Amino acid sequence: MSANSTAGKSDGDDPSIPPNSAESLGSRIRDLDVDSIRRYLAQKLGFYEPSEPSTSVEKVLDEVNLDGIVKWMKSARCQNVITLSGAGISTSAGIPDFRSPETGLYHNLQKYNLPEPQAIFEINFFRQNPKPFFTLAKELFPGSFKPTISHYFIRLLHEKGLLLRHYTQNIDTLERGAGIPGEKLVEAHGTFYTSHCIECRKEYPLDFIKGIIFADQIPICTECPGVVKPDIVFFGESLPERFQHCLQEDFQKCDMLIIMGSSLEVQPFASLIDMVPEWCPRLLINREKAGIRSPLLRLWGMSGGLQLDEDSIRDVARLGECDDGCQELADRLGWGDELRELVAREHELLTQKGSLLNPHPPILEHSGQNVTAEKL
């Protein structure tokens, strides 16, 4: 079989190839001259032809598996680790998946007659009726949950001087709870940690809204009649400026990317994995494979996505529970006991603080200026 005969199966000038043919085409071309096919398709379909063929990319892992990753991370060349995380690093903390109808959180909100579940995170709906959001916020409020082994593993990366930045999709603030410094964090979907008045933009700390939310009231600005909203990103709002700023600086410096507990389905977060250098090793720690781009798209020179097959030179998946994966990685790096001791010590401290599993903490005292009137 020649390159031309395979390319001919793309039906001449018709670029529409059924999606289900991608895998079979990918396997058929594996032994062929990939570059010549790519050039043919790029010319035929008007695609940009990449100037650097993938064969020129340096392979830095001796073995493309967890052993190879560990050896790389122990080497002097590995200095700037970026971690990306999704909901999977927080599920073992007991944080309910509020998007799932099975948790009952949305069910509890039916009395508010939401037009659709997502309306609770829509800024225009919030302006009309913030009550459903604050009811949900009470259920999810930071301080009711302990950070997980995965969170403390990220802190350990920082303490070892390896963490360039941790990017999280989560809004639960467990990274801060685990002691990861704010300057090492990018909370891409925002955070409960700070809040702003939606009218005059005055900033408020976590403690300001906490007591008000737990008293089933709506936090109102002390300067104007605006509602005070936690800085989590709603539909219809742009991502934090810090996200845009940091990713431009960070990703080209990255020499090890660890993706933890994310299905890599939400953009633009999912595209971050393609912003590291082409040689940079990428480790996925997740229940299942994620972020894989089809062999056909790779053939077209669109090299994005993880490559988790036998041809991979840099991508490794460690499938299973996130905490197990992080503990195993720590064990192999020689930090296993340190991680276990850190988790035990920090959890004990949090328990002593009495901040846990207390669904009705005492209402904070407010000055006379702090209006906490129920709205609507």
* Binding positions for Zn ion, rule: CB under 5 A: 197, 199-200, 202, 221, 223-224, 226
221 is in an annotated binding site: yes
The CB-of-194 to Zn ion minimum distance in angstroms stands at 14
Q: Give me the sheet containing 256-260, strands edge to edge.
A: 185-187, 163-168, 81-85, 256-260, 282-286, 315-319
Q: Per the structure block, which two tokens stand in for 141?
A: 């409020």
The CB-of-348 to Zn ion minimum distance in angstroms stands at 40
189 catalytic? Reply is yes
Angle between helices 149-159 and 322-333 (to 10 degrees): 30
The CB-of-236 to Zn ion minimum distance in angstroms stands at 20
Cβ proximity to Zn ion: between 126 and 167 the closer is 126
254 is in an annotated binding site: no
Cβ proximity to Zn ion: between 199 and 324 the closer is 199
Cβ proximity to Zn ion: between 8 and 225 the closer is 225
Chain-centre distance for alpha carbon 344: 25
Question: How many CA atoms within 13 Å lie on the side-chain side of 268?
Answer: 9
Q: Per the structure block, which two tokens stand in for 88?
A: 């999977």
Distances 133 to 42, 218, 230, 232, 357 between C-alpha atoms, Å = 48, 10, 10, 11, 21
Measured CA to CA, the distance from residue 186 to residue 222 in angstroms comes to 28
The CB-of-233 to Zn ion minimum distance in angstroms stands at 20
Cβ proximity to Zn ion: between 132 and 219 the closer is 219
246 is in an annotated binding site: no
Place of tokens 């109102």: 220
Catalytic pick from 189, 196, 347, 366?
Answer: 189
Q: Per the structure block, which two tokens stand in for 201?
A: 């933009």
Which residues carry a binding-site annotation? 197, 200, 221, 224
Which residues carry a binding-site annotation for Zn(2+)? 197, 200, 221, 224
Catalytic residues: 189
